[in-house]
Amino acid sequence: MSDIKLTFYGAAENVTGSCTLVECGSTKLLIDYGLVQGTDNDNEENIRPLPFPVAELDAVILTHGHMDHTGRVPLLSGSGFKGRIITHAASAELAALIWYDSVRMHDFGVSLYDENAVNDTLALVQGIKYNQEIEVGDVKITMFDAGHILGSAHVLLNYNGKKIVFSGDIGVQRTPIIRDPFTQWDGNIHAVVIESTYGNRIHKSRMKTAEEFRGIVDSAIKEKGIIIIPAFAIGRTQELLYHLNYLVEAKKIKPLPVFVDSPMANRVTQIYKKYTDCYDGPTTAQILSGDLPLEFRGLNHVITASDSRSISKTIPPFIVIAGSGMCNGGRVIHHLQNHIDQDNTTIMFVGYQGKGTLGRRLIDGDKNILIGNKMCKVRASIATLNGFSAHADQNELIKWAKAIPGKSIRWFVNHGEKYAAQGLCDTLTKEGLGESVVVKKGMSVVL
């Protein structure tokens, strides 16, 4: 029997909580087990056990290290899971950072698990390379570079000749530092589970966005302003450093203090420096020329909480890059509290802001807003640069999809809010790429 059964338990008409059960005969795999974020009852969702015995799982496959794909994994060991956790080696290191950071959040009463759970989980992790085929039961598993963040992967499952691809998060072509998403598939693919974060939108070009970024920074320098950038610790922070490196060293802007106020982001940057085999050609050449792409004059890595608080004493202009990326916690909160009521401040959003998050409310134009425990009046300018997104837009998603070989491919659209997922689904059908459906939570299909 070569049937494959998929059951979607997360990221269905949503962009967080990625989780799909794959059953191939007697072999059971879980693709991602991410944190649910941005909902009124997300904590309740995150602690709700999976509706099947996790001890029966043979392996968990992680597409990459982001919280919405890995955040709940340490819950599994306490429920009897003893299988392998398989991911790219870089993703394994990034996930470990996230898990330990989640334990640290226990001090604020929101941790889902303790350090022992993380240690037990790490003992099960198997870091692999791109293009390396491994076997779990009767299933052959290969990971290919997804171009989203360091170590991100498309996952190919081959069960008795029936092949299914899980896109994971699909990156944007010509993203600095890392390579473009993989598109050189062999043989016919029977089904694809594809993300749709921006399935109904088109990004600005990265070149135009980089120029817009330069303009905002240049204006802040001339006007002695402050720029606060809520940024994801993994991927987005490193790309911002890459662009600032270029602007400073090419003398496109005058050097100014840049504070990376995120211990996690600073640790992630060290991991980025380690896995140079994941870099694209231009970045590799830049390093060989002696120019380190994540370092430049004026850069400050902030570690302690006291140093973080002292940033507000800095004479403008300056830039603060801090987590969390959606403003739902982290050090960015006190920077917003200190400066959002000042008209010389710019809050620059460079990544997706989920429904219900503080970041989304600021983008939507709220002028009086609760930040932490403080009600603030918004006088700062709000800038949204979606051209820095690490997620492919509709055009790039379709281009990626067209590279998938096969007849009568079945497409399962997930990891997108309702209208984004439906927009990509309709476009896949319009382009004649095969049967397409937006997945619903709890939906099962047999291939």
* Predicted confidence (pLDDT) per residue in 213-270, tens digit: 999 999 999 999 999 999 989 999 999 999 999 999 999 999 999 999 998 999 999 9
Same domain membership, residue 180 and residue 225? no
What's the rounded Cα separation, in Å, for the pair 225 and 377?
18
Q: Which two tokens stand for residue 132?
A: 């390396």
Q: How far apart are the first and last CA of the chain?
A: 11
Position with higher pLDDT, 111 vs 308: 308
**In this structure, are 369 and 412 located in the same domain?**
no
Q: What is the pLDDT of residue 110?
A: 60
Residue 59 and residue 96: Cα distance in Å, rounded? Answer: 17
CA proximity to 261, closest of 201, 309, 335, 321: 321
Determine the pLDDT at residue 107: 46
Q: Model confidence over 348-359: pLDDT tens digits?
A: 999 888 878 899
Task: Specify which of 34-43, 138-147, 288-297 reaches the highest per-range mean pLDDT.
Answer: 138-147
Token pair 């994994």: residue = 73
Domain match, 23 and 88 both: yes
Alpha carbon distance 86, 184 (integer Å): 22
Say if residue 230 is in the same domain as residue 267: yes
Give residue-wise pLDDT tens across range 123-162.
999 999 999 999 999 999 999 999 999 999 999 999 999 9
Q: Show the tokens assigned to 275.
A: 């896995």
pLDDT, greater one: 355 or 372: 372
Indicate the residue type of 173: Q
Domain that holds residue 69: 4-201+390-446
**What is the reported pLDDT for 139?**
98
Q: Give 174-200 pLDDT, tens digit per residue.
A: 899 999 999 999 999 999 999 999 999
Non-local (6+) Cβ contacts of 145 within 8 A are: 130, 152, 153, 154, 178, 179, 180, 181, 182, 278
Q: Are residues 384 and 394 in the same domain?
A: no
Same domain, 183 and 58: yes
- This prediction has a pTM of 0.90
Same domain, 334 and 233: yes
Beta bridge partners of 22: 6, 29
Those residues whose C-beta lies under 8 Å from the C-beta of residue 307, and which sit 6 or more positions away, are none
* pLDDT value of position 106: 53
The answer to whether residues 244 and 154 belong to one domain is no
Other beta carbons less than 10 A from residue 207's beta carbon: 10
Q: What is the mean pLDDT of the chain?
A: 94
Q: Are residues 67 and 100 located together in one domain of the fold?
A: yes
Structural domains counted in the chain = 2
pLDDT in tens, 48-76: 999 999 999 999 999 999 999 999 999 99
Tokens of 199: 């399935």
CATH code of the domain in which 360 resides: 3.40.50.10890
Do residues 252 and 192 both lie within one domain? no
Contact criterion met (CB below 8 Å) for 128 and 88: yes
pLDDT of residue 424: 98
| Count of CB atoms situated within 10 Å of the CB of 410 | 18
Looking at the fold, whether 347 and 213 belong to one and the same domain comes out as yes
| CB 256, CB 298: distance < 8 Å | yes
CB 171 within 8 A of CB 390: yes
Give the CATH number of the domain where residue 100 resides: 3.60.15.10
What does DSSP say about strands 381-384 and 345-349: parallel, antiparallel, or unpaired? parallel
Taking residue 129's Cβ as centre, other Cβ atoms within 10 Å add up to: 10
Residues 337 and 218 in one domain: yes
